């Protein structure tokens, strides 16, 4: 059995994308135009929501007018969470964590940790499955939401954001995933066609494959096509003895 496994490794390589630690996972989130821009942060975000109950990473993609209040795509963006298996991303959990996230963001950006958030509100409602979902997504669930908060970047005024949320899992992955489309524009406006198309194009990038070569009485494997034996410049290598 061990020899069979080694042979498969040598001939085909092994893609471990979904099984990789979240910090190593990379995602394709298609940009509608080159002017869309983004960032990647750790969760919980220590700078504004350290009490967030979700641990993992966040990938964010902003519309060109994200921080320009006079633009039609003001505060329009998408984001992806890759988080641990617990807590399960139910409507109740999503409502609680979104409130923590956006209340923390307002407080941090406005420089007021004692900001009155009594008028902030988050509602999350389960929906029938959305037509478009990320590639290879399993057990997907769909929700809509609204977030009422103080937009702290441009206007510093109360704002209502409309959300479409989708949770899912990947085969052989212990993690769970959340993709959110967000905009102050109602969900029947044209911008939502763009946001949904982005969601439908989301994919987990393949992990680099492991390649192996015969060596002594076994195989030596690395993440390059021809594993290097240099301990200084080559990839990390593993030796698998035969037998």
Sign of CA dihedral 134, 137, 142, 144: negative
Same domain, 214 and 116: no
Q: Is 112 helix (H, G, I), strand (E, B) or coil?
A: coil
Closest residue by Cα to residue 134 from 171, 168, 164? 168
19: in domain:
no
What percentage of the chain's residues is helix, strand, coil (to nearest 5)? 20, 35, 50
pLDDT surpassing 90 at residue 178: yes
3-state secondary structure 127-159: ECCCCCCCCCCEEEEEEEEEEEEEECCCCCEEE
Mean pLDDT of 193-211: 85
Domain total in the chain: 2
Contact 187, 164 (CB under 8 A): yes
Nearest-angstrom CA–CA distance, 212 and 6:
8
Nearest-angstrom CA–CA distance, 90 and 6:
41
Same domain, 128 and 223: no
Same domain, 100 and 199: yes
Contact 140, 168 (CB under 8 A): yes
Residue 92: asked if its preceding bond is cis (omega within 30°), the reply is: no
Beta-bridged to residue 22, according to DSSP, are none
pLDDT digits (tens, 9 = 90+) for 119-166: 999 999 999 999 888 888 999 999 999 999 999 999 999 999 999 999
Same domain, 215 and 181: no
Task: Give the pLDDT confidence score for residue 136 in this predicted structure.
Answer: 87
DSSP state of 2: H
Pairwise pLDDT comparison (231 vs 53), residue with the higher score: 53
Q: What does the mean pLDDT of the chain come to?
A: 85
Same domain, 132 and 225: no
222: in domain:
yes
What token pair was written down for 210? 């492991």
Same domain, 104 and 196: yes
Same domain, 120 and 165: yes
Task: Give the pLDDT confidence score for residue 170 in this predicted structure.
Answer: 93
Burial (CB count <10 Å: 0-12, 13-18, 19+), residue 157: exposed
Same domain, 219 and 146: no
23: in domain:
no
26: in domain:
no
Same domain, 161 and 230: no
pLDDT surpassing 50 at residue 2: no
Same domain, 175 and 102: yes
Contact 29, 61 (CB under 8 A): yes
Nearest-angstrom CA–CA distance, 215 and 229:
11
Residue 81: asked if its preceding bond is cis (omega within 30°), the reply is: no
Nearest-angstrom CA–CA distance, 141 and 38:
25
144: in domain:
yes
Same domain, 80 and 37: yes
Sequence-distant (≥ 6) Cβ neighbours of residue 69 within 8 angstroms: 154, 155
Same domain, 67 and 118: yes
Task: Give the pLDDT confidence score for residue 214 in this predicted structure.
Answer: 66
Residue located via tokens 């409130």: 99
Per the structure, the complete domain to which residue 176 belongs is given by: 32-204
């Amino acid at each position: 059995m061990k020899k069979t496994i080694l042979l498969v490794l040598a001939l085909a390589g092994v893609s471990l994308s979904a099984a990789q630690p979240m910090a190593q996972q990379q995602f394709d989130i298609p940009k509608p135009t080159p002017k869309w821009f983004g960032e990647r942060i750790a969760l919980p975000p220590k700078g504004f929501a350290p009490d967030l109950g979700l641990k993992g990473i966040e990938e964010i993609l902003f519309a060109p007018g994200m921080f320009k209040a006079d633009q039609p795509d003001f505060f329009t963006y998408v984001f992806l969470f890759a988080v641990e298996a617990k807590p399960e991303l139910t409507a109740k959990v999503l409502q609680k964590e979104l409130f923590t996230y956006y209340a923390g963001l307002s407080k941090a950006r406005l420089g007021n940790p004692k900001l009155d958030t009594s008028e902030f509100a988050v509602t999350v409602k389960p929906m029938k499955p959305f037509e478009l979902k990320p590639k290879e997504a399993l057990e997907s669930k769909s929700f809509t939401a609204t977030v009422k908060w103080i937009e702290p970047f441009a206007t510093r005024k109360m704002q209502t954001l409309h959300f479409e949320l989708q949770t899912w899992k990947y085969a052989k992955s212990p993690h769970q995933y959340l993709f959110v489309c967000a905009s102050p524009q109602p969900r029947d406006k044209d911008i939502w066609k763009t946001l949904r198309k982005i969601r439908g194009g989301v994919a987990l990038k393949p992990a680099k494959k492991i390649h192996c070569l015969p060596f002594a009485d076994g195989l030596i494997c690395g993440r390059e096509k021809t594993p290097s034996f240099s301990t200084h410049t080559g990839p990390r290598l593993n030796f698998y003895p035969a037998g």
